[in-house]
Amino acid sequence: MGTILITGGSRGIGAAIVKRAVADGHSVLFTYHSDRAAADRLVAECDGRAQATRCDVADPAQIAAVFALADSLKARTGEPLTGLVNNAGITGGFARVADLPIDTLRGVLATNVEGCFVAAQLAVQRLSTARGGAGGSIVNLSSQAARLGGGGEWVHYAASKAAVDALTIGLAREVGREGIRVNAVSPGLIDTDIHATAGDPDRVHRLADGVPLGRPGAAVEVADAVAWLLSDRSSYVTGTIIPVSGGR
- Note whether 143 binds ligand NDP by CB under 6 A: yes
Is 157 catalytic? The answer is yes
Nearer to ligand NDP, 35 or 178 (CB): 35
Q: Which residues contact 54 (CB under 8 A, 6 or more apart)?
A: 31, 32, 33, 36, 62
Within positions 21 to 40, which residues make up the interface with ligand NDP, using CB under 6 A? 31-35
- Note whether 13 binds ligand NDP by CB under 6 A: yes
Residues 168-187, one symbol each (x = binds ligand NDP by CB under 6 A, - = not), give: -------------------x
- Note whether 223 binds ligand NDP by CB under 6 A: no
Q: Output phi, psi for 197, to 5 deg.
A: -65, -15
- Contact (Cβ atoms closer than 8 angstroms) between residue 30 and residue 240: no
Q: Output phi, psi for 8, to 5 deg.
A: 60, 45
# residues near ligand NDP by CB under 6 A: 29
Contacts of 158-161 spanning 24+ positions with Cβ under 8 A: 160/89, 160/108, 160/109, 160/112, 160/113, 161/89, 161/112, 161/186
- Contact (Cβ atoms closer than 8 angstroms) between residue 164 and residue 146: yes
Residues 225-244, one symbol each (x = binds ligand NDP by CB under 6 A, - = not), give: --------------------
Within positions 48 to 87, which residues make up the interface with ligand NDP, using CB under 6 A? 55-58, 87
- Note whether 90 binds ligand NDP by CB under 6 A: yes
Nearer to ligand NDP, 3 or 86 (CB): 86
Nearer to ligand NDP, 3 or 143 (CB): 143
Q: Which of 30, 32, 67, 157 is catalytic?
A: 157
Q: Which residues contact 197 (CB under 8 A, 6 or more apart)?
A: 91, 92, 93, 94
Nearer to ligand NDP, 16 or 133 (CB): 16
What is the DSSP code string of 68-93?
Answer: HHHHHHHHHH---EEEEEE-------
Amino acid symbol at 87: N
Footprint of ligand NDP (CB under 6 A) = 7-8, 10-14, 31-35, 55-58, 87-90, 111, 141, 143, 187, 189-190, 192-194
Catalytically active residues, by annotation: 157
